[in-house]
Chains A and B, each alone.
Chain A
Amino acid sequence: MDHDHQELPSDPALRVMALESLLVEKGLVDPAALDALIDAYEHKVGPRNGARVVARAWVDPEYKKRLLADATAAIAELGYEGGQGAHMVVVENTTDCHNIVVCTLCSCYPWPVLGLPPVWYKSAPYRSRAVIDPRGVLCEFGLDLAESVEVSVWDSTSEMRYLVLPERPPGTEHMGEEELAALVTRDAMIGTAKVRPAGDPT
């Protein structure tokens, strides 16, 4: 049997510290590079990127066309590309069809536009239920869809990464791109929420 788990301290914080120190000693990692990676995903790469893509699609019909035809290229136009986003597909929510994204096998998620996934997205409850009971899952997120609406679940089993283009909420016709981007939430781009008009607390 494999006993190495007991050989490092059981507290993950201590085990990780010991492992990092060993890898640094061995010249396999530079701690400053780790700091830079963490800083990037804590402060630069996140759902604000995806929100800008959505807002652009709402105000620019030509951009929206390109986004739905070749999402990878259209997203790169705004400067967002990279690991876990090399092959993007954007799926559009309409009054007739609601899309929701999951990774039942692990935690695949479009990092360049949404950053790292929240805990619930990577958790057993969401991964197990999103495909068999998407309507129940959406209800839990406060979204009760009529039976006439087609619910499409996208299970991210390959390196294709999916981003939902939510419906533009009513009453936002006067808003500019930046104002619109501020309304777009991470969950709306996963498909577990709709975008609410400004000032709507629900």
Chain B
Amino acid sequence: MNGVHDMGGMHGMGPIAPEPAEPVFHERWEARVFALNRAVGVLGKWNIDAGRHSRERIPPADYLRMSYYEKWLAGLIMLLKESGLVTDAELESGQPAPGTAKTAQPLTPEQVARLITARGGYERPVNEPPRFAIGQAVRAKKINPTGHTRLPRYARGCVGTIDRVHGAHVFPDSNAHFHSESPQHLYSVRFPARELWGKAAPRDAVYIDLWEDYLEPA
């Protein structure tokens, strides 16, 4: 979706403000939101792409106003409701609906260490060989899907060259909507900065990871 989250190349966002000796979390609630997302995520009701897409669906004005973990909280509430894990009435009352059974197997403290180091991974076997080869010129398609996509607007229509072939990975555009993992080949594509922006230092480049469906021969 052409949301405000797709920020590459936007102007007017102000200076970058690094904070010396920044803590991992600034407030205890931020830490709790982070941990809640991980812990509920383990229940398998959604996937990483659906998680990203929930935050993208925060209304643009709210997205820009909210702090990072406020967005995580808003996205989590969205997913809890959409997955049926929590109802509006429960959010309103703060109490489980009468008669709901405790059926989930929550993440235990003992499982946390393994969760953190678990490889997981998004590479999947596919039968088809990669359509594009290293060094080949490709164009990022001009697409404007209303659902989730990882093809940033600033690259659409631009020509680059295949720099690396990463293997076949889960396709976010499909997975975010629970359609299927639909794995396909993933490439690192090198776009000269001048191709993306017009004026730029001649040798500068942006490398973007793009799935095969985003690309066509150039």
Contacts and interface: CB of A to CB of B under 8 A. Distances in A.
B16 A126 contact: yes
A124 B207 CA distance: 20
Interface of B: 5-11, 13-19, 22, 24-29, 31-36, 38-40, 43, 48, 52, 55, 64, 67-70, 73-74, 76-77, 80-81, 85-86, 88, 90-92, 94-96, 100, 102-104, 106-109, 111-113, 115-123, 150-152, 154, 164, 166, 169-170, 172, 186, 188, 193, 196-197, 201, 203-211
Given A42-B24, A104-B6, A86 B119 contact: yes
Interface string A119-162: 11011111111111011010011000001001111111111100
A105 B63 CA distance: 12
Given A83-B115, A123-B17, A132-B9, A151 B109 contact: no
Contacts, number: 272
Contacts of A102: 8
A30 B108 contact: yes
Given A29-B106, A119-B17, 15 more contacts: A18-B94, A22-B91, A22-B96, A25-B95, A27-B104, A30-B106, A37-B35, A37-B38, A41-B34, A42-B24, A105-B8, A124-B7, A155-B206, A155-B209, A187-B18
A13 B31 CA distance: 10
Given A38-B25, A155-B207, A128 B35 contact: no
Contacts of A119: 17, 19, 22, 26, 68
Nearest to B23: A42
Interface string A14-57: 01111111110111111011111110111011100000000000
